[in-house]
Amino acid sequence: MSANASESLLVVSAHAGDFVWRAGGAIALAATRAERATVVCLSYGERGESARAWREGKKLDEIKALRRSEAEAAAAVLGADIRFLDAGDYPLLESPDLIDQLVHVYRDVTPTVVLTHTLSDPYNGDHPAAARMALQSRILAQAPGYDSPGEPLGAPPVFSFEPHQPEMSQFRPDVLLDITEAFEIKREAMRCLGAQEHMWTYYEDLAARRGVQLERNAGPNLGLLRNSRAEAFVRHYPHITTRLS
Residue ranges per structural domain of the chain: 8-218+230-235
**What is residue 1's predicted lDDT score, i.e. its pLDDT?**
38
Phi/psi of residue 184, each to 5°?
A: -65, -30
Closest CA to 119 of 73, 163, 178: 163
- pLDDT digit string, tens, across residues 73-107: 999 999 999 999 999 999 999 999 999 999 999 99
How many other C-beta atoms are found inside a 10 Å radius of the C-beta of residue 119?
18
CA–CA distances in Å: residue 7 to residues 79, 113, 152:
14, 8, 17
**What is residue 124's predicted lDDT score, i.e. its pLDDT?**
97
Q: Distance between alpha carbon 171 and the CA centroid of its chain, in Å?
A: 15
**What is residue 98's predicted lDDT score, i.e. its pLDDT?**
98
Q: For the chain, which residues score pLDDT lower than 70?
A: 1-5, 220-225
Q: What is the pTM of this model?
A: 0.95
Percent of the chain with pLDDT over 90: 91
DSSP β-bridge partners for residue 175 = 233
Phi/psi of residue 130, each to 5°?
A: -65, -40
Homologous superfamily (CATH) of 8-218+230-235 is LmbE-like (3.40.50.10320)
